[in-house]
Structure 1
Amino acid sequence: MARVVVFTTSASVLIIEILAGRLLAPYLGVSLEVFTGIIGVILAGISIGAWLGGRAADRLDPTRLPGPLMVAGGLSVILSPVIIDFFGPGVGINPLSIVFLATVGFVVPAALLSAVSPIVVKIRLASLDNTGSVVGSYSAIGTAGAIFGTFVTGFVLIAAFPTRPIVAGLGLLLSLGGASLMIGRGRWVPLAVLLVAVGSATALASSDGPCQYETTYHCADVVVDPDRPTGRLLILDRGHNSYVDLEDPTYLDFRYARVMADVIDANFASGPLSVLSIGGGGFTFPQYLEATRPGTDHVVLEIDRLLVDIGRSELGFEDEAEVVIADARQSIQDVPPATIDLVIGDAFSGLTVPWHLTTAEFVSIVDSRMAPTGLYLINVIDYGDLDFAMSTVKTFEAVFDHVAVIAPPSYLSGEAGGNFVIVGSQAALDTPALIRAIAERGGSEAVLTGADLESFTTGGLVLRDDFAPVDQMIDR
């Protein structure tokens, strides 16, 4: 039984660590900074719990402690989503907020459960002669539990169940396991624990949480536009990701989408194209291009299967494109070389493009799939000193002979921020036609090329696979 207790509590700490990313995503997004904060907080909880558990084992009767600690740990696990939902809407997206929200949500269950292992070791340590074997064996069991918790959560549970039922089930399991260790201290104690744990777990498992849809990677909501009843806004992790009009796919609500349409029309004659989209989102461009350029051959590389289902059920996507459900860095290898007229990069993890889709190595792969006159358009978000936007342009310049960035003048000067459209091609861009298209639309965006572009990118760096700190580059 002692080995089972250590294995279970250690596994539970790692289950909490992985689920923490899902619980924080609606408020903080999904980024390297968020996972860094979670890992640091969980490690702090493990450290605090091991230290306090060891002290308690020396000062109190250790045989009476594992049960109450497991019960308290289980109940605190069940409370974690409630605490996150209470504090989450009021926090910003910065390192301090990440650490704060992770701490209030997860440091207590991590500490309570981590206190069990040193207490069990004290119970099992009958003689100093076998200290090494006892400590070593329980350390190995705890590590094995942590490995099990990591694998079963990441590979099985998250793919099979929503987060809150997993949290509720884990909390209930821990509470009932702790109650079973307390049998013999009075009938009311296990009964009270049973009632509280079952009630709390049931309430949590049946609650909706902050998401309309919980995908493998995002908290997703689809909102009806009150000013345009046929309009649908896709929100991922608090960010406005995509907009489609169910009756008019040619309507582009987002400014960056209108800029991309200007670039396409300025550089390609009318007619169908061969298009590759990196990231599907709300599938705005597959529907737009099918409406404006019938017969377009469109392939979308989208990692999130449920987003595809949402596109079909809520956003009017009717298979205007072939969808490949896989990470774009891998699935692009199956795209035939030198065949694509237009590549649209619109993949996001929170506010950032996933770092491995920003590097010169990846951009070179994209270039190898493009026809000689092909275009690569990418949408990026940046603010403040514009490190990420400048570095994306620098990276494009390392691969393409012709590059441009399009954004409002206030964005380009750093006075404001938002979406930047960056264009790369081995063929000359029709900049005059693009400027005319923007003007005819009534847009205010400026187009930077040549010397103006070089001036804009001062201070930027070429992103590489071994150094692409995109999460840290964006000022929020």
Structure 2
Amino acid sequence: MTRSAPLWLLVAMQGVVSAASLVVEIVAGRMLAPHVGMSLHTWTAVIAVVLAGFSAGHWWGGRLAEKPNGPAFRWIGGALLAGAITTAGAVPILPALAGPVLGLVTQPVWGITVLTALVFFLPSFFAGAPAPVLAKIAVTTADRTGPALGAMFASGAVGAIAGTLLAGFVFISWLGSTLTLVVVTIIYLLCGLLFFWLGGGGGRRGLTAATVLGAVLVAGAVATPPSCDRESRYFCLRVEDISADPSQPVRLMVIDHLAHGISARDLPQVQFTDHTAMLDHLARVRAPSERFSSFHIGGGNYAVPRAFAASGQQAITVAEIDPAVTEMAAASFWFDPASAKVLHEDGRRALLMQPEARYDIIIGDAFTDVVVPVHLVTQEFFRLAANRLSPGGSFLMNVIDHEDSLAALASIVLTLQSVFPVVEVWTEQVAPMPGQRMVFVVVGGDIPTQAGSFSAPSPDQTRFAALADGFVAQLADTRGQLLTDDYAPIDRLMGRRD
């Protein structure tokens, strides 16, 4: 027997389902990050796939809305049970599919899109089905159709806002991705059972089987090994022990899917990556005095601030947006928080909020995936950094680009040249392989570095050199674009290849 549903219940259910579906969308980006990174391409794929799922679900729901209320309720109850199953299934399915899909679809953008579609299209499709059915029932059973329809649309929008805020500010940082999806799964199960009850029941064997399968998948999701040692509101963080000798520990910090730094307990002044070796050495030789002040944008495993502190530098300030990164650096990478002033703030904002501060060295080592965040490569930001330098100070930043393009590097150089009298590009002194992803350190200042090359351990003794001035000038002129807050297509210039 079909049961009548008051308007307030239909409105509430529309808001709950909408909120849960947006939670899944936000969590999807977080779950994909350990496999494909957290980039513009990742979020573009997530938004497109989820909207495609909602659209297809709305179309199907419109067909279901033509049915009498009882069968329509039961159909959307089944859709939400299927949504619960596919939502819980995303937890074990994503890591199982990531390797094969990304290996088969080698073009990174398409690889991200296909992987996202395989895992998150169906949860969005099933979550999109109830809206047209609930709207139709609300309009046909309410005394006033206009306010009823408006209430349903408003409830969907408010639910979407609530789900987005809850996912970003509460669930992920307090529960993590897996438990957040478990909560959504339970919500879908309860909503599905309610709709079956409103529709008069029926198909009890199938209903029981779906409920049991959902419960099994919830248990499986909870039992799936996490891909993160710690999941913060910003990143998936992991520590890997890469020690050759357990008595002399060496550890690697992985943020999302990329290695972000290596530290050895007993060798605080030895750098284990090319970019930190260059940043460390160039900062010291370009500093206006032996004792210099430094401002670091991005902490990571705090290898460079730790090395500065070990050599006696005291005026060290670090802007690291994620407190969890700092806590992990202190707990697992031997960074002493008392050795530096740590600001858990975006680097640009941190500089902006210190109008009187001046630093001898400013180091930019912040990344979103393999790309420097857009707001940290613009002419406006470089002017801000130059304004915060003391006389004779230098700005250094880590840049990644591909040997056969260098468009991102060229654009950053061109933009820096509009602010600093001298701009240098440093890299390892070795012929790159065709198409190789290369690591550079770009320097902006008033005077050239005295030596054109140097050797430093990273950890093996490695030779680094500045690219010839003529080559740098030609590169900027032929391939560079001026980057501003209004237009800085750094993702496109960098591209995605691995």
TM-score in same-fold range (> 0.5): yes
Deviates more, 1:326-335 or 1:359-368: 326-335
1:343-382 to structure 2, matched below 5 A, reads 343-382=362-401
Cα distance between partner residues in 2 of 1:190 and 1:282:
50
Secondary structure of the equivalent of 1:47? helix
8 A Cα contact 1:219 1:237, kept in partner:
yes
1:222 — aligned with what?
239
8 A Cα contact 2:252 2:263, kept in partner:
yes
Counting aligned pairs with the same residue, the percent is 28
8 A Cα contact 1:77 1:167, kept in partner:
yes
For residue 234 of structure 1, report the CA deviation from its aligned partner.
Answer: 0.8
Secondary structure of the equivalent of 2:66? helix
Give the aligned residue type for 2:332: E
1:421 — aligned with what?
441
For residue 284 of structure 1, report the CA deviation from its aligned partner.
Answer: 0.2
Structure 1 residues 364 and 38: CA distance shift in structure 2, 3 A: same
Secondary structure of the equivalent of 1:185? coil
Alignment match of 1:28 (pick from 25, 28, 36)? 36
1:180-329 to structure 2, matched below 5 A, reads 180-183=194-197, 184-185=201-202, 191-227=208-244, 229=246, 230-268=249-287, 271-292=290-311, 294-319=312-337, 320-329=339-348
8 A Cα contact 1:62 1:122, kept in partner:
no
For residue 443 of structure 1, report the CA deviation from its aligned partner.
Answer: 3.3
Give the aligned residue type for 1:72: A
2:483 — aligned with what?
463
Per-residue CA deviations over 1:387-408 (Å, capped at 9, x if unaligned) read 1111111111111111100113
Secondary structure of the equivalent of 2:442? strand
1:81 — aligned with what?
91
Cα distance between partner residues in 2 of 1:268 and 1:127:
75
1:39 — aligned with what?
47
Cα distance between partner residues in 2 of 1:346 and 1:62:
55
8 A Cα contact 1:63 1:123, kept in partner:
no
For residue 430 of structure 1, report the CA deviation from its aligned partner.
Answer: 2.4
Per-residue CA deviations over 1:94-151 (Å, capped at 9, x if unaligned) read 2211211111111111111111011122333427996544433322221121111112
Alignment match of 2:472 (pick from 453, 463, 470)? 453
CA RMSD across the alignment: 2.4
1:66 — aligned with what?
76
Give the aligned residue type for 1:242: G
Give the aligned residue type for 1:339: R
1:53 — aligned with what?
61
Secondary structure of the equivalent of 1:182? helix
Cα distance between partner residues in 2 of 1:82 and 1:402:
52
Cα distance between partner residues in 2 of 1:351 and 1:430:
27
Q: Does 1:172 align with 2:180?
A: no
Cα distance between partner residues in 1 of 2:79 and 2:48:
22
For residue 327 of structure 1, report the CA deviation from its aligned partner.
Answer: 1.4
8 A Cα contact 1:233 1:242, kept in partner:
yes
Cα distance between partner residues in 2 of 1:342 and 1:124:
64
Structure 1 residues 328 and 103: CA distance shift in structure 2, 3 A: same
8 A Cα contact 2:401 2:408, kept in partner:
yes
Alignment match of 1:107 (pick from 111, 121, 126)? 121
8 A Cα contact 1:337 1:368, kept in partner:
no
Q: Which runs of 5+ in 2 are unaligned?
A: 1-8
Deviates more, 1:402-411 or 1:241-250: 402-411
Aligned residue pair count = 472
Secondary structure of the equivalent of 2:140? coil
Secondary structure of the equivalent of 2:83? helix
Cα distance between partner residues in 2 of 1:266 and 1:82:
50
For residue 270 of structure 1, report the CA deviation from its aligned partner.
Answer: 6.8
8 A Cα contact 1:375 1:423, kept in partner:
yes
Deviates more, 1:441-450 or 1:214-223: 441-450
1:332 — aligned with what?
351
Cα distance between partner residues in 1 of 2:245 and 2:393:
35
Cα distance between partner residues in 2 of 1:246 and 1:67:
56
Q: Does 1:401 align with 2:412?
A: no
8 A Cα contact 2:288 2:360, kept in partner:
no
Cα distance between partner residues in 2 of 1:336 and 1:449:
35
8 A Cα contact 1:407 1:447, kept in partner:
yes
Deviates more, 1:81-90 or 1:300-309: 81-90
Cα distance between partner residues in 2 of 1:111 and 1:430:
58
Give the aligned residue type for 2:323: R
For residue 424 of structure 1, report the CA deviation from its aligned partner.
Answer: 0.5
For residue 54 of structure 1, report the CA deviation from its aligned partner.
Answer: 0.6
8 A Cα contact 2:296 2:317, kept in partner:
yes
Structure 1 residues 208 and 431: CA distance shift in structure 2, 3 A: same
Cα distance between partner residues in 2 of 1:264 and 1:414:
30
Deviates more, 1:267-276 or 1:218-227: 267-276
Give the aligned residue type for 1:351: V
Cα distance between partner residues in 2 of 1:243 and 1:461:
33
Cα distance between partner residues in 2 of 1:413 and 1:82:
37
Per-residue CA deviations over 1:16-38 (Å, capped at 9, x if unaligned) read 11111101000111111111111
Q: Which runs of 5+ in 1 are unaligned?
A: none
TM-score by length of 1: 0.92
For residue 199 of structure 1, report the CA deviation from its aligned partner.
Answer: 3.2
Deviates more, 1:202-211 or 1:388-397: 202-211
For residue 334 of structure 1, report the CA deviation from its aligned partner.
Answer: 3.1
Per-residue CA deviations over 1:73-106 (Å, capped at 9, x if unaligned) read 1111111122211122341572211211111111
8 A Cα contact 1:338 1:368, kept in partner:
no
Cα distance between partner residues in 2 of 1:127 and 1:269:
78
2:4 — aligned with what?
none
8 A Cα contact 1:28 1:93, kept in partner:
no
Give the aligned residue type for 2:389: M
Structure 1 residues 415 and 8: CA distance shift in structure 2, 3 A: closer
Secondary structure of the equivalent of 2:270? coil
